[in-house]
Structure 1
Amino acid sequence: MTGMTDKNSNMLAKIGITIGKGNKLELDEDALKQADISSLKTVFTGYNSFVSKISQKATGISNAANRASATYTNNGTYSKTDASLTSSKIDKEV
């Protein structure tokens, strides 16, 4: 997700959001208050918005983690076949 944020850093900066130390997002409240509505909509609303894309990525990662954890048995072992299938699925989704 940091790559996606980097790619959108100029758009985010227009509304007062910058990437700080440790890839944490930082907010300039004054810049946010002064941002034009079009820029805010581009970031926050709609299927193709930055926030929507980040949400889709997070959901994909969460789903892949849930599938991966399901490959473990009650004894704490897992199937190598299941792990390789999950790994290729993660690569496709992320």
Structure 2
Amino acid sequence: MEKENKHYFYVLECRDTSYYAGYTNDLEKRITVHNTGKGAKYTRARGPVKCIYYELFETKQEAMRAEYAFKQLPRIKKIEYMRRPTDEITEK
């Protein structure tokens, strides 16, 4: 049973300006883990990272679906996605 209904899809910008997208239920902790070199293999060699975007969802499945869809986009579309007006981004 989940203690909270906080599920984040997030995007990090790495030191080399590449993007890393992921899922977590504790965003601050996850960013710290990435920056201590214990996160994803991708970010270990590209740190430090900074969170440049996130969305909050009620379920893990919704957040992971958003992560997967984002990862399928070319970089220019990822940038457009993150620049959407906030009224287009609804807390799900």
**TM-score of the superposed pair, with normalisation by structure 2:** 0.29
Q: Which has the higher helix share?
A: 1
Return the index of the structure with the highest Cα Rg.
1
More strand per residue: 2
Bigger relative contact order (CA 8 A; separation at least 6): 2
